[in-house]
Amino acid sequence: MKSIGGKLSLLAASCACALSAQADTILFKNVNVFNGTDNKLYENHYVLVEDNLIKAVSKDVVEVSDAQVIDGSGMTLMPGLIEGHGHLLLNGGNLSDHENNRTIEELAERSTVNARAAFRSGFTTWRDAGGLNTGLRKTIDSGMLEGPRLYTSGAFIGPTGSHADFSNLTTANQHFFGSTTSMARNSVSFNADGITDIKAAARQNFKQGNTQIKIMSSGGVASSFDPWQLNAMSPEEISAAVEIAEAYGSYVMSHAYSKKAILRNLDAGVKTIEHGFMFDGDIAKKMKEKGAYITTNMTAFSPYLTQIEAINSNPASKRKAESATKAFSKYIENVNKYQPKWGFHTDCVGDVTACIKQTDHTIFLAGKELGNFFTLKGLTSVNGEIVKLSGVMDPYPEGKLGVVEEGAYADLILVDGNPLEDLSVIGANEKWFDAEPREADLDTIKVIMKDGVVYKNTL
């Protein structure tokens, strides 16, 4: 028979198969499987996990001696969720607050709380889009702390006055990387002006073991000095970052809003466009040609947008948000029309309660505007492809992520319900700031497994 991934199963057809159990063998039985790629549930299946990988997926009965058995009758087994663009270390109120009021010790300690909350909400992998280096990943991977697999970008890289500039108005960038700022001294954000500095900044990030490079090639909204229309980096500067990333066998992710900035990045070899609000048919064609992806924070289209502290605390940011909203009005229509490789993306800056609420609201908005299946693919298989772009810098090279298929990592969640019909089973909430605060643990997520280890089982 065939498994749901379309490959030949290890299990013989039309029989009750018996496999000899090994250490750390877990069998899910009677589960409905969402495999991360297909718009359907595969009902009443068996999924066998050996050590940290999925060994088999079958509709036939599987019998394994001495295995731990999890009976998920009527529930959906699906890939662990993947955050495509988050900021665990940016847990203060706004960019100025991070620079002026928070020590790196405080930010780091809070990042552990955010990481555990994300994990307990079903996110077993997290691509951090700037600010976080490798210390938290090493701590989680050592087993000392619960949390998702981490793909980190290290310090943001952008020129003086860009979306990567955390400094005060009067701070002079008198030294490489703007090291007069706290954020630069602590490898959170580098001001790198010109090709030489950009290459050195990228090399420094890879030296620290980060998995990809994040550049700020466009202006933004929640920042002090840059109009969102700004094309902050020249083609040559973007190409410099790409050159170093490719030398390390990895890739560049780029903050880009305007059409000109997006096309400039794609032409230079950037693999993931972050935000990409002016996405259209020309960009879709270029993305397909280049094998590129887009991740977008759907909260940009929320009626709650101006209540974000990082925006409403700054009059300039509030004005930028208003003009950006008008300019980005075709985004949803174009994504639905052209169906790009789209990754889910929350982009929360804030504390654990705020980020839980924002993630839940983002899932709701994505489902409402782009459809549940498109959203679920973005939360699983597409983001799984994105993190694997890190190539030889990938700290988890043994298996795929974001799919339920033979040979993939056993990163799985068992949910009470059908997410293709109802995204609330993974947290979706129409409310945002007025949502009731919730614990990180969702009652509807009954089992959380990462790397073949069960971290939660309430059955």
257-291 per-position pLDDT tens digit: 999 999 999 999 999 999 999 999 999 999 999 99
CA angle 184, 190, 194 (to 5 degrees): 140
pLDDT at res. 220: 76
Tokens of 326: 């008008």
Residue 15 binned pLDDT confidence (cut-offs 50, 70, 90): very low
Distance CA 101, CA 225 (A): 19
68: three-class secondary structure by DSSP: strand
| Range 82-91 average pLDDT | 93
Higher-confidence position of 452 and 187: 452
Helices marked H in 252-351: 259-268, 281-290, 309-312, 315-327, 331-338
Tokens of 290: 């280049």
Give me the mean pLDDT over the 14-35 stretch.
Answer: 70
Taking only the tens place, the pLDDT of each residue in 101-118 is 667 788 878 899 999 999
Residue with tokens 């090399």: 203
Q: Would you state the pLDDT for residue 185?
A: 64
Tokens representing 250 are 């990895």
Q: From 347, 350, 317, 316, select the one nearest 102 (Cα to Cα).
A: 350
For position 404, what pLDDT does the model report? 98
Grouping H, G, I as helix, E, B as strand and the rest as coil, residue 29 is strand
